[in-house]
Structure 1
Amino acid sequence: MKIIHIAMQAFTVVIFVYIAAVILSYSIMFVLAFWTLRKERSLDRRELDERFVDAFLSKPVSILVPAYNEETGVIATVHSLLNLDYPQTELLVIDDGSKDGTADVVISQFDMEKADKPADLQLATKAVKEIYRSRIHPNLWLIRKENGGKGDALNVGINFAKYSYFCTIDGDSILDEKSLLRVMKPIIMSDGKVIAAGGNVRIVNGMDVEYGAVSSVKLSGRPFVVMQIVEYLRAFLMGRIALSRYNLVLIISGAFSVFSKKPVIRAGGYNTTTIGEDMEMVVKLQRLLKEEKLGGRIEFVADPVCWTEAPQTMSVLRKQRRRWHQGLLESLWAHRKMAFNPKYGAVGMISVPYFWLIECLGPIIELAGYVYVIAAFFMGGIYYEYSVALMLLLVLYGTVFSMGAVLLESWSLGTFPKIRDVFRMMALTLTEVVWYRPLTLIWRVEGLIRSLFRISSWGDMERVGATGTKGAGK
């Protein structure tokens, strides 16, 4: 019994110190995000868009859409990209050996014919089978290739991209009309010193979509989807804004990011063997910047919005979360020499350790905390008091910051203008610590275990399409 008592006391210290460290980290991020958004809230975004039009003309963009079994949503995605308010773009849909009718619906909908396209084959990829060009939209291309994964599809897109900057968009995502203008703004304003920028990602489930544009913003009726919306707000509006402020970003979403092509090729392009190719690319770029002392930056931009489809069932959400966490561990392990290494500046001393201790290993400690709460509750005595205190800390960690992220979004960006939607999200966050948080922790630990046993599986996600989607072809 004495050994159990000592072990419980030791674990009590560990879990309380960990939760306190997480709360402190999130508090700092929240304050930094608040000040950043407060400053941007006073700006006239339309005036800024118009001010840089001439500069945008000098920075044309190749838009890359890797697509694998995206028959349901790819047409809406292409429509949204064709409607972008940007001076000069080309659009490349890269069909990564889809087993459904992804390529067929694109060819049919946009009246495509076989064509040739010049390429600079600097990155090794799977074989390209066919290239098509739209008769209706001459800047729209379809590249059919052998299946090699998303990273390989993006490398093919880079080889065929005509312009010096490329934007990556998932095959089930939709951009607002001004999104590309706004995500390119840091690159324009920095005169190229910003080599990559990521935009904000929101969940489209439950929205009305017409010809590639969100026509009506509505909150989904599914609790699983609403909790994912809250998670996205917490991750993007708090974490990434704060890290971006000091050039500490290690993740910008692969669903919507812009890169300078030259440093990406210099870094070897996208990794085709890892699950989390988007994070892997950003970490490689941060490493390149520090090792070659290039002095560049990677930024997150809160205003431009990309709408993407989220899982609507528990089984699909489980596959997604364990895949994400597996990709996180793989990227951190591949670049483990950066951790606590002053050679990599603040990225090595702050950002990489944060992702190791809080994001990667955190689920193990936090899940153990839930087990501790249950065990201590039944042990009685002082352990009962510990369990109550720990539960309150978990509520503070999970619920308060989630509610804060919802309020921050409503105050600064106002994507969800209806008060009842805001209150519904806030009410649901009160239950997060009881059901949603423990589930995601279990799935993330599964991802760690799968990574340790080298179980690599992307996991298919069933696409259902946005509510009221129009213009998707027949």
Structure 2
Amino acid sequence: MIKLAAMFVFFFMIAVILFYTFLLVVSFIQLRRMYELDEWEPYEEMLDVSYTKPVSILVPAYNEEAGIFATVRSLLSIEYPEYEIVVINDGSTDDTLERLKKDFDLIPIKRVIREQLKTKRVRAVYRSRKFSHLFVIDKENGGKADALNAGINFSTYPYVCSIDGDSVIERRAFLKVMKPIVDSDEDVIASGGSVRIANGCDIEKGEVVRIGLSRQPLVIMQVIEYLRAFLMGRIGLSRHNLLLIVSGAFGVFSKQWVIRAGGYAHTVGEDMELVVRLHRLIKESKTNKKIVYVPDPVCWTEAPESMTDLRKQRRRWHRGLFESLWLHRRMWFNPRYGSIGLVSMPYFLLIEFLGPVVELLGYILIIVSLILGDIYIEFAILLFLVSVLYGSIFSMAAVLLEEWTVRKFSSVSDVVRLFFYSLTETLWYRPLTVLWRCEGIVDALLKRKGWGEMKRKGVSK
């Protein structure tokens, strides 16, 4: 029985390793191709307002007093010819609204809002006297999806971008994330950028002035994890229009397609669920639209620094993954939905969602095999080596990929530390996240609710 279980885990991990190797190769080719281009020249023409598409930037905020100032300041300084910022105060119980009023000199205005998507009641609308393109909506609490839908109703431009209330955007990020949409003549209906960890960076007045690496091992491992998820996973999936996640922290969408799809749903993973629904709509309407990922545009966000907060986050993320997959289960292995139904949905179901269960079984088998001794020690060594390849080696590859292409970290010591910590991932960090993701599966099966809020310190001075 142990032998059969060990062989199942072994061959499952080998299959996953082969798939990730394919994604790694595709990602490396794509990144090298992109960064051989001049860094600035391809985006210079986009500063011409006649060439670009105006964007409404939506910032849902619930109890974001600590980070909302830095987020809005970073958005006010971006290089983009035409945009508006719409902050949606979703019934915050802290001083989020008061902070916005004070810092940006808000005054109440009267404006008719076309309710294309159903939301909780809007109590008031404000406009900044300092910045005419900054608006704040104060509404009853309805959750992040409801806040985003209220922002869509209020917005005036054809493209909307969702930004988390604790995030900081790089100045040229919008020029880069909008370029695929403009170049494709609107065949691209959604475009997402990279999200990086802000802990350890110096951020002043909403702008990253120095990119650094936190001293906390838990945060360093999350930096590595983000590199792996974005530089390896999403580039490879995006290359073949298989992307099912555009991060809620930084993603641009065609407003008409979002409204046509019914807006954001009240799920834990509302960002992924919307992207899956858009793919479904594309296939069912038989149109040739795309959803892409652009690796360079960067959004900096605060990461959990405690085990308790990180555990809540990962349980919530995995529960959100299950909700999105389950709501669209008719797409599983369904040829009607092309490569999304036959490749992307099975990948997220079998590898991303159920993968932690198999990994946890592998860790248990390693321990049991070591206890039993004799021939079982060979199984333990085999499974351990495969788990190292599955975890640490690919994380090391992601760090190298970052250094060869994006090169956000200017300090050699930071890169060395990232590389060293990636070697240790299998020994402590990955087993923890596997356990927490399995807890997320239990939460989903038991239909447990709750958001699991993270205590934020704020990332800006």
In structure 1, the residue matched to 2:35 is 41
TM-score of the pair, normalised by structure 2? 0.99
Q: Does 1:241 align with 2:240?
A: no
Looking at structure 1, the residues matched to 116 and 104 of structure 2 have their Cα atoms a distance apart, in angstroms, of 29
1:93-172 to 2 correspondences below 5 Å: 93-172=87-166
Looking at structure 2, the residues matched to 56 and 424 of structure 1 have their Cα atoms a distance apart, in angstroms, of 45
Deviations 1:246-300 (A, max 9, x none): 000000100000000001101100002x100000010000000001112100000
Looking at structure 1, the residues matched to 452 and 3 of structure 2 have their Cα atoms a distance apart, in angstroms, of 41
For residue 372 of structure 2, what is the amino acid of its counterpart? M
CA contact (8 A) 2:52 2:182 kept: no
For residue 252 of structure 1, what is the amino acid of its counterpart? V
Looking at structure 1, the residues matched to 164 and 208 of structure 2 have their Cα atoms a distance apart, in angstroms, of 16
Residue 383 of structure 1 and its aligned partner are, at CA, apart by: 1.1
CA contact (8 A) 2:149 2:263 kept: yes
Looking at structure 2, the residues matched to 417 and 135 of structure 1 have their Cα atoms a distance apart, in angstroms, of 39
CA contact (8 A) 2:246 2:275 kept: yes
Out of 145, 159, 176, the position equivalent to 1:182 is 176
Q: Does 1:452 align with 2:436?
A: no
Out of 12, 17, 20, the position equivalent to 1:26 is 20
In structure 2, the residue matched to 1:266 is 260
What's the RMSD between the two structures over aligned residues?
Answer: 0.9
Q: Secondary structure at the match of 1:197?
A: strand
Q: How many residue pairs end up in the alignment?
A: 461
Residue 465 of structure 1 and its aligned partner are, at CA, apart by: 1.5
Out of 333, 337, 341, the position equivalent to 2:334 is 341
Q: Secondary structure at the match of 1:125?
A: coil
For residue 384 of structure 1, what is the amino acid of its counterpart? I
In structure 1, the residue matched to 2:290 is 297
In structure 2, the residue matched to 1:252 is 246
Tell me which stretches of 4 or more aligned residues in structure 1 moved more than 4 Å. Answer: 55-58
In structure 2, the residue matched to 1:13 is 7
Residue 320 of structure 1 and its aligned partner are, at CA, apart by: 0.3
CA contact (8 A) 1:128 1:145 kept: yes
Deviations 1:218-268 (A, max 9, x none): 110000000000000000000000000000000010000000000110110
CA contact (8 A) 2:46 2:52 kept: no
In structure 2, the residue matched to 1:3 is none
For residue 405 of structure 1, what is the amino acid of its counterpart? A
CA 1:190–1:55: 2 relative to 1, 3 Å: farther
Looking at structure 1, the residues matched to 70 and 276 of structure 2 have their Cα atoms a distance apart, in angstroms, of 31
In structure 1, the residue matched to 2:281 is 288
CA contact (8 A) 1:57 1:88 kept: no
Looking at structure 2, the residues matched to 222 and 9 of structure 1 have their Cα atoms a distance apart, in angstroms, of 39
Looking at structure 1, the residues matched to 290 and 111 of structure 2 have their Cα atoms a distance apart, in angstroms, of 32
For residue 429 of structure 1, what is the amino acid of its counterpart? S
Looking at structure 2, the residues matched to 296 and 116 of structure 1 have their Cα atoms a distance apart, in angstroms, of 37
Q: Does 1:429 align with 2:429?
A: no
TM-score of the pair, normalised by structure 1? 0.96
For residue 206 of structure 1, what is the amino acid of its counterpart? G
Out of 314, 322, 337, the position equivalent to 1:321 is 314
Looking at structure 1, the residues matched to 7 and 105 of structure 2 have their Cα atoms a distance apart, in angstroms, of 65
Deviations 1:300-337 (A, max 9, x none): 00010000000000000000000000000010010011
